[in-house]
Chains A and B, each alone.
Chain A
Amino acid sequence: MSTAQVTFDITPRTAPDVARARPAGVIHDVVAIAGRSLRAVPRDLEAIVPPVFIAFFFFIVNIGTLENLTQNNIAGFDYTAFEMATAVLLGVTGVSRAQALVIDVQNGYFDRLLLTPVRRSAILIGHMVADVAVSATLCVPIIGLAFALGIDFHAGVLGVLMFIVIAALWSLAFAGFGYAIALKTGNPAAVNSSFLLFFPFLFLTSSYVPRGQLSGWLDTVAGWNPVTYLLEGMRSLALTGWRWDDLGKAALALLVVFLVSFSLCFAALRARVNQR
């Protein structure tokens, strides 16, 4: 009698792996969006070069104009170190991807992002993370110029880092207004007009001379302008070292601007997403 042996292949057969969408996680979303924003920066240099040029220009011109006047009247005053904070804020205020965001809205790419499972807030935060990185980078050549002009930074290396952090956070806080306008209007011209906010914030304050030299209405307005306290905090790092009361006021001023601008921009984001 013969026997026949039949073998069955019981190895599970599976279809080729098919990539399927899954939630990526908020940090992953933010990193992906920020990466895209950062890749766009060198392709969009016209958004970066003018502010740096303005910062350099006013830094040099103001030193030439006011250095002798201030240093002759205030004993031991270092005008270059004093003016560095103004130059840095001139360079980083208004640096944001809000213009890119409004173009995304206009050309439909914003909708393409909304069609993905990306968290809505991550779209905004990703841009903002890129803004912080860009602003911090822009501080470096301006501070470098100040060192080349011979300043003595009293708070040391950590103080320089803190100086850059404050400037970058200010840039971010101010950018909130641009994002709010971008999301609210979807209009690039309106976003450009947010630059107008730049003038009261940066010129109705102690931009060019110490607060004590201001008088009358300008002194009153400067007292209400958060940038005054921001400048004083940053200047304290350069001129005197770590003065926590000045830094505390700077942090509070930042917080106030953050609360206002971020409330506006996240409300605008909600409105744009919810109308859909």
Chain B
Amino acid sequence: MQTTMRHRQEDLYQARDVEGTTDTGPSAIVAEGLTRTFGDAVTAVDGLDLTIRRGEIYGLLGPNGAGKSTTVKMLCTLLAPTGGRATVAGFDIASRPQQVRLHIGVALQDVALDPKQTGLELLRLQGQLYGLSRREIEQRLVELRALVDLGDALERRIETYSGGMRRRLDLAAALVHNPEVLFLDEPTTGLDPISRASVWQEVQRLNDDLGMTILLTTQYLEEADELADRVGIVDNGRLVAQGTPNELKRRVGTDVVVARIEGDPDAAQRALQGVYGVAAVESRDHELTISVDEGSSAIGPVAIALHDASIQVRDLTLRTPTLDDVFLELTGAHFDAEEDRS
């Protein structure tokens, strides 16, 4: 089943006039210099280059205001680019938006539901608008019931749903027509941990079973780490790095030593220059994030160097790198700090 479905996706790409191709075959999403400005002052997306292979889960990671949602809105034809070009499912977003819409499913950051309809009515209407037959719609409703796990609430008006129920229904609405490419714009924001885990599981299943290409934006580092085959880090509308989560983390080094100190962080940074095994040092307030090649060998020399410089160390922690460390190295700011700033 899994193989057959994946082949079916490939056939679909090969059967059409595919515009987005790479040397590895047709790509689900290709963006070249994609730009969106608002007026003269705001450049939300600034020359974004992106290639997402079919069947891939790609995580677009960045703080609020980084340009993730604007990118998604352009790729799903809600917003016209002011520069560059992009293809989705092989179709140009500017010249063939109708074809793009037929092949994508979208769950935007804010759930987009009609509170006066029941869940079933909303899903049926979605099916109708995607041209599904009555039989296909009823079949999909059976399948989606299991996904949304709303039980009898599907017969109730959406205005009675909790936030988590609305989020799940919104996801189901994006999936009614079995899209080839699924855009999920911060799909778990506002969800409780159990609902979040359930969405993660479903995203993984859609990708594994149906070969669905998924572009996921998130501001949760662990979400990108958990789900994405590759992660693109966006800052100020630009893609500053991309790769698998492990590749990105390896940029920082094998390990990270975090030192909380008292005293002058600049002096501490100077003291660590040239210390054995230290690849890079970033500081924020009184916390030093020290990238090292081999943590167990480097932690001793780090402690000694700080001591010799009369820097009082409150605690010293050795851990493996996280995507936050990657973000820190690339942008000079912690992920949460960026979020606060925005």
Query: Residues on A close to B: CB < 8 A?
Result: 15-25, 28-29, 32, 35-36, 39-40, 43-44, 100, 104, 107-109, 111-118, 274-276
A111 and B129: CB pair below 8 A?
no
- Residues of B within 8 Å of A113, CB to CB, are 129
Q: Say whether A19 contacts B115, CB under 8 Å.
A: no
Selected interface stretch from B72-80, B251-259, B266-274, B294-302 = B72-80
Closest to B179 in A: A21
Please count the residue pairs between chain A and chain B whose beta carbons lie under 8 angstroms apart in the complex: 105
Q: In the complex the two chains form, is B130's CB within 8 Å of A24's CB?
A: yes
What are the 9 tightest A-B residue pairs by CB atom distance, in nearest-first order? A108-B112, A24-B131, A112-B112, A19-B136, A21-B130, A21-B177, A22-B131, A32-B128, A116-B129
CA distance A17 to B140 in the complex (A): 11
Of B97-105, B226-234, B313-321, which stretch is located at the interface? B97-105
Name B61-97 residues within 8 Å CB distance of A: 73, 76-80
B160 at the interface (CB under 8 A from A): no
Provide the residues of chain A in CB contact with B103, threshold 8 Å.
Answer: 21
Instruction: Report the separation of the CA atoms of residues A32 and B77 in the bound assembly, to the nearest whole angstrom.
Output: 22
Taken residue by residue from 296 to 314, chain B's Cβ proximity to chain A (1 for < 8 Å, 0 otherwise) reads as 0000000000000000000
* 17 extra A-B contacts, CB within 8 A, seeds A19-B140, A32-B125, A116-B126: A16-B1, A18-B5, A19-B139, A21-B102, A24-B129, A28-B128, A39-B121, A107-B112, A108-B110, A109-B112, A109-B114, A111-B78, A112-B173, A114-B78, A117-B129, A275-B80, A276-B78
Chain A residues within 8 Å of B173, by CB? 112
Smallest distance from the beta carbon of A150 to chain B beta carbons, Å?
Answer: 41
Nearest CB in chain A: distance from B210 CB, A: 8
Q: B111: which A residues are within 8 A, CB to CB?
A: 108
Contacts of B1 in A (CB 8 A): 15-16
- Decide yes or no whether B132 CB sits under 8 A from chain A: yes
Complex contacts, B139 vs chain A, CB 8 Å: 19
> Which one of B76, B125, B136 has the highest number of Cβ atoms from chain A below 10 Å of its Cβ?
B125
A15 with B112, Cβ < 8 A, contacts A23-B131, A115-B106, A116-B126 known: no
Q: How far is the CA of A118 from the CA of B128 in the complex (A)?
A: 9
- Select which of A29, A108, A115 is within 8 A of B76 by beta carbon: A115
Complex-state Cα separation, A19 to B131, whole angstroms:
10
Nearest CB in chain A to that of B121: its residue: A39
A22 to B103, CA, bound (A): 9
Could you say which residues of chain A place their CB within 8 Å of the CB of B236? Answer: none
- Is B178 in the interface zone, CB < 8 Å from A? yes
- CB-based contact B101/A15 at 8 Å: no
Q: Does B113 contact A (CB under 8 A)?
A: yes
Interfacial chain B residues near A28, Cβ < 8 Å: 128, 131
Tell whether A115 pairs with B98 under 8 Å between CB atoms, given A15-B1, A19-B132, A24-B131: no
Q: State whether A117 touches B101 (Cβ < 8 A).
A: yes
Asked if B113 and A21 sit within 8 Å, CB to CB, the answer is no
The reply to whether B77 and A115 form a contact with Cβ atoms under 8 Å apart is yes
Size of chain B's interface in residues, with CB distance under 8 A? 44
Minimum C-beta distance from A260 to chain B (A): 29
Known: A117-B101, A274-B80. A18 touches B8 (CB 8 A): yes
Chain A hits for B178, CB < 8 A? 18-21
Q: List 11 A-B contacts (CB under 8 A).
A: A20-B178, A21-B130, A21-B132, A23-B98, A24-B131, A29-B129, A32-B128, A36-B125, A39-B117, A115-B77, A276-B73
Contacts of A22 in B (CB 8 A): 102, 130-131
* Complex: chain A residue closest to B111, CB-CB: A108
A25 cross-chain contacts in B, Cβ below 8 A: 131
Query: Distance (Å) between the CB of B205 and the closest chain A CB?
Result: 15
A40-B116 contact, Cβ under 8 Å, with A108-B110, A108-B111: yes
B35 to chain A, nearest CB (A): 16
Q: Is B22 an interface residue (CB 8 A)?
A: no
Interfacial chain A residues near B102, Cβ < 8 Å: 21-23, 117
Q: Determine if A15 and B177 form an interchain contact, defined as CB atoms under 8 angstroms apart.
A: no
- When distances are taken between beta carbons in the complex, the residues of chain B under 8 Å from A274 are 80
Distance in angstroms from A105 CB to nearest chain B CB is 11
Closest A residue to B210 by CB, please name it: A18
Judge whether B117 and A36 touch: CB under 8 Å.
yes
**Most central of B108, B114, B157 by chain A CB within 10 Å:** B114
Most buried by A among B104, B110, B126, B176: B126
**Min CB–CB distance A21 → chain B (angstroms):** 4
Query: Which residues in A have their C-beta under 8 angstroms from that of B80?
Result: 274-276
Q: Are A118 and B108 in contact (CB under 8 A)?
A: no
A21–B101 Cα distance when bound, in Å, is 9
Minimum CB–CB distance for A193 against chain B, Å: 23
Is B4 at the interface (CB under 8 A from chain A)? yes
Bound complex: CA A29 to CA B132 (Å): 12
Question: What is the minimal beta-carbon distance from A169 to any residue of chain B, in angstroms?
Answer: 27
In the bound complex, residues from chain A placing their C-beta under 8 Å from that of B113 are 107-109, 112
Complex alpha-carbon distance, A127 and B79, angstroms: 24
Residue of A nearest to B5 (CB): A15
- Pick the contact of B98 from A32, A43, A117 — CB < 8 Å? A117
Chain B residues within an 8 Å CB radius of A118: 129
Docked Cα-Cα span, A39 to B117, in Å, equals 8
Give the distance in Å from the alpha carbon of A35 to the alpha carbon of B124 in the complex: 11
List chain A residues, Cβ under 8 A from B8: 15, 18
